[in-house]
Structure 1
Amino acid sequence: MLRLAFATLAGTAIEFYDFFVYGTAAALVLGPLFFPSFSPLAGTLAAFATFGAGFIARPIGSLLFGHVGDRMGRRPVLFISLLTTGVATVLVGCLPTYDSIGATAPVLLVALRFVQGIGLGGEWGGAVLLTAEHAPADRRALWGAFPQMGPPLGFLLANGLTLTLSTTLSDAQFLAWGWRVPFWAAGILAAGGLLLRASLAETPDFHELRRTGRQAEAPAVEVVRRHWRTLLLTAGALSCGYAVFYTVTTWGLTYGTEAAGISRTTMLALVMGAVAVMGTVTPFAAVLADRVGRRPMCLAGSILSALWTFPFAALLGTGEPALVFLAFVVALLAFVSVFAVTAAYLPELYEPRVRCTGAAVGYNLAGVLGGAVTPLVTTALTEDGGPPWGVAAWLTGIALLSLCCFAALPETRPAAPPTADTKPAVPGQPGAGDRPGDRRTPA
């Protein structure tokens, strides 16, 4: 389990490195390089629009790779998705800018961002199922937290490299070629990730599906017909986490540097420090979820997010680095209360034959509302450079939506193993949590 967990952690870290390095570049340099004829605000909005294209592509990727995962196995998904995202990221670093090829440059940028999103849409489902379906039932959230630690690690890698380049190069050098280096580094990371994943074994649940011939013929159709309610609820429930995370890590960079007057280097350091705290807390939140349940953790995270939005806006508006850091840390702790348990919660909501498709599509649909739309809305709401109260109101609305959706979802934590005085649970019935696959799933 430890070898498997670290392999999935490394893979998701690399995939999310590719995704996050684009978000950082969109906040800092892509506007003037690819949309120079726009005003500074319009250029930033255009860069965030291309950023959002990756989120729109992610549900498409989860449908494509979910079909592969439910029909052919979870393991092949990990190789194809990593290769897809890695190649697209390297090519972004090779793109000529608007000054070289005109309007073709932003068109190619959007196309490659879309391909990035397709690859990442498949990555998450394959990685979390590989750990969740191998893990013992009473430690599924803990082992599932390993691929969930990949995003913060990928973010730190992406922004750490960007921060290093930003501090060692002049602004002219960074705009000329320095911003490309993190994209080129993705090729080396992807090659290492493919080597790490070469020895991973297929999951017991899928072996059982293949042995009995019970794979879904059309997983996406089956999910829509039989699990549409769960799909919509999970998409709404997870949207707040996406909104909070990308408000801090993407829009926060732009607002901090342009409106609050904090230097680019300081803002990168503040965001990285907050994400490092989040990544450190993730396994502890997962252990708690194995004890108290998935749903209580998610409800608590949604409530904390709703309560913190206006204090978050007030602290960010001060322009004081220490207070901005506090705003970021508390917001991301609320986020991690939900996302630390997601890798266990979502797979447990779906039966094994459609689990790869259902879990991945629900997870990535949430990204469209929370991740794609939020940077656009928050940037437009702070056009005047004043305190971001409109951003706080937007985040409060999404947090309340998530709270309602989590309240409508069932608890899935497997019951404790039966004692000598209790009758063993029947596989497939509530309380059957003695092995992967025997989970409480809604009818």
Structure 2
Amino acid sequence: MDRTPPAPPVPPATAASRTPAAKQAKRATHAAFFGFGVDYFDIYLPVVALAPAIHYFQPKGIPDSVETTLFYLTFAATLLGRPVGSIVFGGISDRIGRRNATLIAVAGFTVATFLMAALPGYAQWGYGGIVCLLLLRFVGGIFMGGEYTSANPLALESCPPAKRGIVGAYIAGAYPIGYIAISVVTLPLLSFLPGGSAGSAYQTWGWRLPFLVGGLLGVVFFVFFYRSVDESAAWQAEAARKESAAEKKAPLRELLRDRAIRRRLAQALLLMTGLWFGVQSIISPVSGLLITYLKQDPGAVTTALLLSNVALFLGYLTFGHLGQKYGRRRVLICSGIATLLVSVASFLAMLMLLSNGGSFVLAMVLYTVGLVVAISPFGVATVYLIEAFPTKIRASGYGVAYSVSLLIPSFYSFYMLGLSSFMPYVYTPLVLIALGGVLTAVGAKIGAETDRTELVGSD
């Protein structure tokens, strides 16, 4: 007679038994948000922090056109590095894990940022100083592209399906937070340190402080991620399946080889190109248009743009909730149409109001409406892209779709210059905003809904 005591019954899953997974999801989500914020902090370093000290890297008496080109290159170098980083680290993340790829990327951009803070200027190295600055910006951009390409899929793979919409929006909302953070760090420095003239305190060493802050944020992120965030369960399951099947395929090659996935990638690239046109036509040129062409007070413009970015963060969360409730694809289609109708109209109304000496406050309210309508869909697009690709190539698909789509819109200044040959320059962003709305709506329309996708085993 078998006297072995019966095995105790397995208790049903409880809230307590699910706590480790819930904590992992929260840690991964907050880490992805923080990392994305550091990314955008870094992107705007040359625009906000280095712009008042750019002469530190340039000789005296160079033509304005050369000076403007060199400044534009310091901004563009990072934007060009990000697609390279997404391609490289997408494959790394799909092969060796989201967590390991994120740690490598964070270490890389942290070192690059610290090195930029230590660079000598034209007086010491001649043009070698700005050449090194451009190289470090490009290399830093590669690692930055790798950070979100790895950390964002990890966070959403750890997240319960019912919360993915709002979590994706929260992570994407780090963009306006990053812009606010770099402004908060830099503006007090410009108030306390004399700037503008050659040899001034800000031009000599003050500009280095925001770069040091950016490097320290990278260190904090690395330590937190290393100590607190575990590998994605979805990636671990896929890695185990590949190992048991002796399957070794390059993720990028697989992304481009499969016809169905190629079509999905092309659709995602079209959608994201539209959204990036919105960014480059509504955000990038507005400060110059308001200050240079419409003669608005620089301090008032800076303050208004900060407030607009606060509203934009709330817009990300709102759109993320709508995407969770009504479907990502449907919200993206409606967003593209709204950009075409609402954002174009509100941006035009802002320009006309300020051109005729109207209320600056009302004009910035109109601008904020157009900004929120056109840019908040990024809160939906982040989770939409991650859901669109199977686990084995998820980081590669997300990274390529998110970053490579930036290349064409990044040349917005040249498009505006070309359009100015037959329309007033100040109104040229309207054409690009409208184009962005059309591409967003069409890109979403030809795609499939993703909100029911299971990220574990979605191959």
Using the size of structure 1 for normalisation, the TM-score is 0.86
Comparing 79-88 with 168-177, greater Cα deviation is found at: 168-177
CA RMSD of aligned residues (A): 2.7
Task: Report what 1:315 is aligned to.
Answer: 350
Confirm whether residue 83 of structure 1 aligns to residue 107 of structure 2: yes
Describe the superposition over 1:260-309 as per-residue Cα deviations: whole angstroms up to 9, x where unpaired: 22333322222211111111232222121111011111112222222223
Structure 1's 49 and 300: CA in aligned 2 closer, same or farther, altered over 3 A? farther
Structure 1's 380 and 26: CA in aligned 2 closer, same or farther, altered over 3 A? farther
Confirm whether residue 101 of structure 1 aligns to residue 102 of structure 2: no
**Which ranges in structure 2 are unaligned for 5 or more consecutive residues?**
1-24
Confirm whether residue 353 of structure 1 aligns to residue 392 of structure 2: yes
- The CA distance in 2 between the partners of 1:124 and 1:60, in whole Å, is 13
Task: Report what 1:223 is aligned to.
Answer: 255
Identity, % of aligned pairs? 23
TM superposition shift of 1:243 = 3.0
**Equivalent pair of 2:276/2:436 in contact (CA under 8 Å):** no
Task: Report what 2:32 is aligned to.
Answer: 8
Describe the superposition over 1:194-238 as per-residue Cα deviations: whole angstroms up to 9, x where unpaired: 121122011111111122126652011111112222222222211
Task: Report what 1:296 is aligned to.
Answer: 330
TM superposition shift of 1:375 = 4.2
Partner-residue secondary structure (3-state), 2:249 = coil
- The CA distance in 1 between the partners of 2:60 and 2:345, in whole Å, is 34
Confirm whether residue 48 of structure 1 aligns to residue 72 of structure 2: yes
Confirm whether residue 203 of structure 1 aligns to residue 243 of structure 2: no
- The CA distance in 1 between the partners of 2:187 and 2:423, in whole Å, is 24
Task: Report what 2:207 is aligned to.
Answer: 179
Structure of larger gyration radius: 2
- The CA distance in 2 between the partners of 1:350 and 1:200, in whole Å, is 23
Task: Report what 1:24 is aligned to.
Answer: 48
Describe the superposition over 1:148-181 as per-residue Cα deviations: whole angstroms up to 9, x where unpaired: 1222211111111122222333333433433332
Structure 1's 263 and 182: CA in aligned 2 closer, same or farther, altered over 3 A? farther
Partner-residue secondary structure (3-state), 1:171 = coil
**Equivalent pair of 2:312/2:376 in contact (CA under 8 Å):** no
Confirm whether residue 408 of structure 1 aligns to residue 442 of structure 2: no
**Which residue identity is paired with 1:107?**
V
Confirm whether residue 391 of structure 1 aligns to residue 429 of structure 2: yes
- The CA distance in 2 between the partners of 1:281 and 1:56, in whole Å, is 27
**Equivalent pair of 1:95/1:105 in contact (CA under 8 Å):** yes
Confirm whether residue 158 of structure 1 aligns to residue 196 of structure 2: no
TM superposition shift of 1:368 = 1.4
Partner-residue secondary structure (3-state), 2:367 = helix
Structure 1's 114 and 276: CA in aligned 2 closer, same or farther, altered over 3 A? same
- The CA distance in 1 between the partners of 2:344 and 2:182, in whole Å, is 26
**Which residue identity is paired with 2:368?**
V
Structure 1's 179 and 276: CA in aligned 2 closer, same or farther, altered over 3 A? same
Partner-residue secondary structure (3-state), 1:261 = coil
**Which residue identity is paired with 1:78?**
T
Partner-residue secondary structure (3-state), 2:230 = coil
TM superposition shift of 1:35 = 7.1
**Which residue identity is paired with 1:77?**
A
- The CA distance in 2 between the partners of 1:222 and 1:331, in whole Å, is 39
Structure 1's 162 and 379: CA in aligned 2 closer, same or farther, altered over 3 A? farther
- The CA distance in 1 between the partners of 2:335 and 2:50, in whole Å, is 28
Task: Report what 2:220 is aligned to.
Answer: 192
TM superposition shift of 1:20 = 2.0
- The CA distance in 1 between the partners of 2:262 and 2:121, in whole Å, is 43
Comparing 257-266 with 57-66, greater Cα deviation is found at: 257-266
- The CA distance in 1 between the partners of 2:249 and 2:375, in whole Å, is 35
**Equivalent pair of 1:57/1:114 in contact (CA under 8 Å):** yes
- The CA distance in 1 between the partners of 2:423 and 2:125, in whole Å, is 33
- The CA distance in 2 between the partners of 1:224 and 1:76, in whole Å, is 24
1:91-170 mapped onto 2 (5 Å cutoff) = 91-170=115-194
Number of aligned residue pairs: 420
**Which residue identity is paired with 2:207?**
W
TM superposition shift of 1:250 = 3.3
Structure 1's 125 and 175: CA in aligned 2 closer, same or farther, altered over 3 A? same
- The CA distance in 2 between the partners of 1:31 and 1:216, in whole Å, is 51
Comparing 162-171 with 11-20, greater Cα deviation is found at: 162-171
Describe the superposition over 1:43-69 as per-residue Cα deviations: whole angstroms up to 9, x where unpaired: 334322332222222121112111111
1:238-257 mapped onto 2 (5 Å cutoff) = 238-257=272-291
- The CA distance in 2 between the partners of 1:176 and 1:313, in whole Å, is 41
- The CA distance in 2 between the partners of 1:399 and 1:36, in whole Å, is 43
Structure 1's 243 and 24: CA in aligned 2 closer, same or farther, altered over 3 A? farther
Comparing 387-396 with 117-126, greater Cα deviation is found at: 387-396
- The CA distance in 2 between the partners of 1:311 and 1:284, in whole Å, is 20
- The CA distance in 1 between the partners of 2:338 and 2:63, in whole Å, is 37
- The CA distance in 2 between the partners of 1:105 and 1:313, in whole Å, is 41
- The CA distance in 2 between the partners of 1:209 and 1:158, in whole Å, is 39
1:268-287 mapped onto 2 (5 Å cutoff) = 268-287=302-321
TM superposition shift of 1:340 = 0.6
**Which ranges in structure 1 are unaligned for 5 or more consecutive residues?**
415-432
Partner-residue secondary structure (3-state), 1:258 = helix
**Which residue identity is paired with 1:220?**
L
Q: Which of 342, 345, 363 pairs up with 2:402?
A: 363
TM superposition shift of 1:106 = 2.8
TM superposition shift of 1:75 = 0.6
- The CA distance in 2 between the partners of 1:38 and 1:63, in whole Å, is 37
Confirm whether residue 437 of structure 1 aligns to residue 456 of structure 2: yes
Task: Report what 1:424 is aligned to.
Answer: none
**Which residue identity is paired with 2:394?**
R
Task: Report what 1:426 is aligned to.
Answer: none
Partner-residue secondary structure (3-state), 2:389 = coil
Comparing 66-75 with 49-58, greater Cα deviation is found at: 49-58
**Equivalent pair of 2:391/2:457 in contact (CA under 8 Å):** no
- The CA distance in 2 between the partners of 1:154 and 1:167, in whole Å, is 20
